[in-house]
């Protein structure tokens, strides 16, 4: 057994999350549904390549126009 191991220790945050999951049993499924709604999207890589290919390179400093002074 390690000197630093604390086998019966659970942090306050872990205790809170465990208690929350006990109080609201469908919480994790709702979180996953919300994530799927906003973040988990299928990416069309061909469309992204066309989008990036159509970009125009920006000048290094946009607010200064060098006119050969």
**pLDDT recorded at residue 29:** 94
Specify the number of domains making up the chain.
1
Residue 56 has which token pair? 């125009």
Is residue 67 in some structural domain?
no
Place of tokens 């205790």: 15
Question: CA-to-CA distance for 69 and 66, rounded, in angstroms?
Answer: 7
Range of the domain at 18: 12-53
**Mind listing the pLDDT tens digit for each residue in 17-57?**
999 999 999 999 999 999 999 888 888 999 999 999 988 88
Average the pLDDT over 54-62 and give the result.
Answer: 79
Assess whether pLDDT exceeds 60 at residue 69.
no
CA nearest 11: which of 1, 3, 2, 19? 19
State how far the alpha carbon of 38 is from the alpha carbons of 13, 28, 33, 35, 48, in Å. Answer: 26, 16, 9, 5, 19
State how far the alpha carbon of 51 is from the alpha carbons of 33, 45, 48, 59, in Å. Answer: 29, 10, 5, 19
* pTM over cut 0.75: no
Is residue 38 in some structural domain?
yes
Is residue 1 in some structural domain?
no
Assess whether pLDDT exceeds 70 at residue 68.
no
């Amino acid at each position: 057994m390690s000197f630093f191991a604390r086998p019966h220790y659970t942090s306050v945050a872990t205790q809170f999350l465990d208690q929350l999951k006990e109080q609201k049993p469908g919480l994790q499924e709702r979180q996953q549904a919300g994530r799927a709604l906003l973040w988990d999207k299928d990416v069309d890589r061909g469309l992204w390549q066309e989008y990036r290919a159509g970009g125009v390179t920006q000048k290094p400093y946009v607010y200064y126009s060098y006119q050969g002074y």
